[in-house]
Amino acid sequence: MEFRLDLGATWLNLLATRGTHFGENPVERMPTVERFTEWLDLVELRPVRRVTSADLTRAWELREILRPIALATVDGVPPDAAAVEALATFLEGDSAVLTVTDRLERSRPRTTEDALSRIARQAVDQLTGPERVFLSACPEHDCRGVFTDPTGRRRWCPNPTCAIRGRVRAHRARKQAETAGQAD
């Protein structure tokens, strides 16, 4: 199962490591330490120290702390205070060192906790800054995936399945309305 890296930010891609979150059969894309390590590689946050099962559990915790905060932000309601306090614990630590080679580079995180801190910091910056207005949530009831939509024109998340289901549902509703209108 492939990772989703098309939502507009690393922290949003972390949310997508659990697909159809609100459905009957959620899809866990990083069920093992190995898969989590693979994801960290893809987002260029693989730590110097080996990733452990405790690190995977912490990543799941961060993901599930961020999800309701992100949805509250999209919905324009205050997030749960306990979730915000829990998120704040991830902001401690990590200080990336910047270097210049042929491009600007940052040091690898020393630990997975440092990597998670970078992800949490990115989330907080977007959730509290002016870019928060570009966040949208997929209207599909089992998805509700949060993504960046700077144009304001996207209706569904980048997952084609959500758009197809939404379009099919809209088509069926139009056909049903036409049929009901003809019966009158």
CATH number, domain at 15?
1.10.3300.10
pLDDT on residue 152: 87
Q: What is the pTM of this model?
A: 0.88
pLDDT on residue 95: 78
Containing structural domain, residue 86: 10-183
Q: Report yes or no on 153 lying in a domain.
A: yes
Q: Report yes or no on 2 lying in a domain.
A: no
Residue 95 CA to residue 69 CA, distance in Å, equals 25
Residue 58 CA to residue 65 CA, distance in Å, equals 10
- In the predicted model, residues of the chain with pLDDT beneath 70 are 171, 183-184
Counting the structural domains of the chain, the total is 1
Q: Report yes or no on 5 lying in a domain.
A: no
Q: Report yes or no on 152 lying in a domain.
A: yes
Q: Report yes or no on 4 lying in a domain.
A: no
Q: Report yes or no on 59 lying in a domain.
A: yes
Q: Report yes or no on 76 lying in a domain.
A: yes
Residue 128 CA to residue 146 CA, distance in Å, equals 15
pLDDT in tens, 86-127: 999 999 877 788 899 899 999 999 999 999 999 999 999 999
Strand ranges inside the chain, DSSP E? 18-19, 27-28, 98-100, 104-106, 135-137, 146-148
pLDDT on residue 116: 98
pLDDT on residue 169: 75
Q: Report yes or no on 160 lying in a domain.
A: yes
Nearest one of 53, 52, 30 to 43, comparing CA atoms = 30
